[in-house]
Structure 1
Amino acid sequence: MTPASATGARPSPVVLDVADVRVARSGRDLLADVSLRVRSGEHWALIGPNGAGKTTLLTLCGALGHPTSGTVDVLGRRLGRVELSELRRHIGHVDPRHRMLRDNIVTEVVLTGLTGSSDPVARWSPTPAEEARAHSLIASVGLGARSTARWSVLSQGERGRALIARALVATPSLLLLDEPATGLDVAAREHLLDTLDGVRAAHPDIASVTVTHHLEDLPASTSHAVLLRDGRVFAQGAADHVLTSEPVSAAFDHPLDVERVDGRWSARTRRGAPPA
């Protein structure tokens, strides 16, 4: 891609700016010297082995925690200087572990994205425009015929797509996805990733950050990536440069052959590598 400065075009606005962040708990650094800048329209993957710090970093991105040192600016507002509940209304979250107290229907679940609650809020009603947007999003993720279905009867894949619609209903500038393909079979995963590619095409200004352990769970629209290891950034930049055999092998401490075919990644143990 030609740099914006070379073409005279202005760079896209910065949506997320993490600078020299450290997060310490019980005397242990969960993150150290981590920096990340995400611009509008970019789609980042956070990749790394268990314990690398992915979830901790996503927590900062979602204004759900504060760094021990360093700064985090989300949508132009610095953590520690802004009212967090108001800021979180502009961030969409997709977490397959989402919990509710009641067995809500799909439309109710999606509308809770406007109130930031787990269940519908008593004595709150959406405007006609908000309700229309919810139904439009439900249809866009392929659940138009399931809008009145109860959560308990949905498949895991249907729940994942409903949560994407929930995350989008408040028109967020930043979308955070925490292992969205967890628990899905192959067909459901492919449907979910196709849905994410469609969402990104339909909302070109939205930025997103996706946490996953598996390269196979990344949508083809992924543009950038961060490899984390032991709480530090091991590599970051354009996905085609970061998600290749050598850096991924080093980050996971295992010899891997990484390929990208038709926009999608796969990884397998390098042929001829000695057993671990």
Structure 2
Amino acid sequence: MNPLTVVASGISRGSEDSADKAYGKAYAMMSWFGVAYLAGKRWHNLSEGERTRVMISRALVSPADLLIFDEPTTGLDLDGRETVLRELSALASRRDDRTMLLVTHQVEDIPAGFDHIAMMGRMTEHECMIYLDAHPRVYATLDGNTTPGTITFAGPIGEGLTDERLASMFGISLHVERTRGRWKAASRSRLA
């Protein structure tokens, strides 16, 4: 199988598009995403980063209303990572009625234009009570829930990515900042 066929398979079965038109759309998406040069290669010869970018092209060519990107920058070199983040940011900025869900462990991998966040983690009961007193908008169901995977915040990204919240979740002193739409977090000990 070649990458062009993989991307074309993202176009819904039963679509009114002819095979030629589907392949044309697939190739256009690969071009937009910077991977058209891979179209004729064999799938098993692609690097992990190339496969990731092809699979993201496949997701984007589909007519799906919900796109889920699970750690889309894993295994990518710096150029590949920045390409993925730039294109996801462009897609988010278009506001084309599609919902995009991005799963990541790195705040640096959140593309500009993503405006809401659901954070999962663990808080001690004491931290949870202090946090709930200071931030009454947080779900009341958090009261005392220290289970890993608990949603500790859901809402606007600027309200979610704070020094206090991330420090509480990870148990280390952190500084979070946003520059030109991109997020960054660093240990305070590294900032000194």
Superposition TM-score, scaled by structure 1 size: 0.54
**Secondary structure class of the residue paired with 2:178:** strand
Q: CA–CA distance in 1 between the matches of 2:95 and 2:155?
A: 22
User: Which residue of 68, 73, 83 corresponds with 1:176?
Assistant: 68
Higher helix share: 2
- Correspondence for 1:239: 157
Q: CA–CA distance in 2 between the matches of 1:183 and 1:113?
A: 22
C-alpha contact 1:177 1:209 (8 A) present in aligned 2: yes
User: Which residue of 28, 36, 43 corresponds with 1:136?
Assistant: 28
Pairs aligned (count): 162
Q: CA–CA distance in 1 between the matches of 2:78 and 2:35?
A: 19
Q: CA–CA distance in 2 between the matches of 1:139 and 1:194?
A: 14
Q: CA–CA distance in 2 between the matches of 1:153 and 1:197?
A: 29
- Correspondence for 1:270: 188
Q: CA–CA distance in 1 between the matches of 2:119 and 2:152?
A: 5
**What percent of counterpart residues are identical?**
34
- Correspondence for 2:38: 146
Residue 131 of structure 1: how far off its partner (Å): 2.2
Q: CA–CA distance in 2 between the matches of 1:107 and 1:204?
A: 24
Q: 1:151 to 1:203 in 2, by over 3 A?
A: farther
1:109 matches 2:109: no
The more displaced of 183-192 and 208-217 is 183-192
Gaps of 5+ in 2: 122-147
The residue identity in structure 1 corresponding to 2:72 is P
C-alpha contact 1:181 1:192 (8 A) present in aligned 2: yes
Residue 184 of structure 1: how far off its partner (Å): 1.9
**Secondary structure class of the residue paired with 1:152:** helix
C-alpha contact 1:160 1:180 (8 A) present in aligned 2: yes
- Correspondence for 2:108: 216
Q: CA–CA distance in 2 between the matches of 1:203 and 1:146?
A: 29
Q: CA–CA distance in 2 between the matches of 1:247 and 1:183?
A: 28
Residue 203 of structure 1: how far off its partner (Å): 6.0
Q: CA–CA distance in 2 between the matches of 1:153 and 1:200?
A: 31
User: Which residue of 147, 158, 167 corresponds with 1:249?
Assistant: 167
The residue identity in structure 2 corresponding to 1:238 is P
C-alpha contact 1:160 1:192 (8 A) present in aligned 2: no
Residue 192 of structure 1: how far off its partner (Å): 1.5
Q: 1:200 to 1:147 in 2, by over 3 A?
A: farther
**Secondary structure class of the residue paired with 1:271:** helix
Residue 151 of structure 1: how far off its partner (Å): 2.0
**Secondary structure class of the residue paired with 1:227:** strand
Q: CA–CA distance in 1 between the matches of 2:73 and 2:160?
A: 21
CA RMSD, 1 decimal: 2.3
- Correspondence for 2:176: 258
Gaps of 5+ in 1: 1-103, 117-124
C-alpha contact 2:12 2:63 (8 A) present in aligned 1: no
Q: 1:132 to 1:201 in 2, by over 3 A?
A: farther
Q: 1:234 to 1:164 in 2, by over 3 A?
A: same
Residue 206 of structure 1: how far off its partner (Å): 1.3
Q: Per-residue displacement from partner, 1:31-51 (whole Å, max 9, x unpaired)?
A: xxxxxxxxxxxxxxxxxxxxx
C-alpha contact 2:71 2:103 (8 A) present in aligned 1: yes
The residue identity in structure 2 corresponding to 1:159 is R
Q: 1:161 to 1:249 in 2, by over 3 A?
A: same
Q: Per-residue displacement from partner, 1:29-73 (whole Å, max 9, x unpaired)?
A: xxxxxxxxxxxxxxxxxxxxxxxxxxxxxxxxxxxxxxxxxxxxx
- Correspondence for 2:85: 193
Q: Per-residue displacement from partner, 1:217-264 (whole Å, max 9, x unpaired)?
A: 111121111111223221111111111211111122222111111111
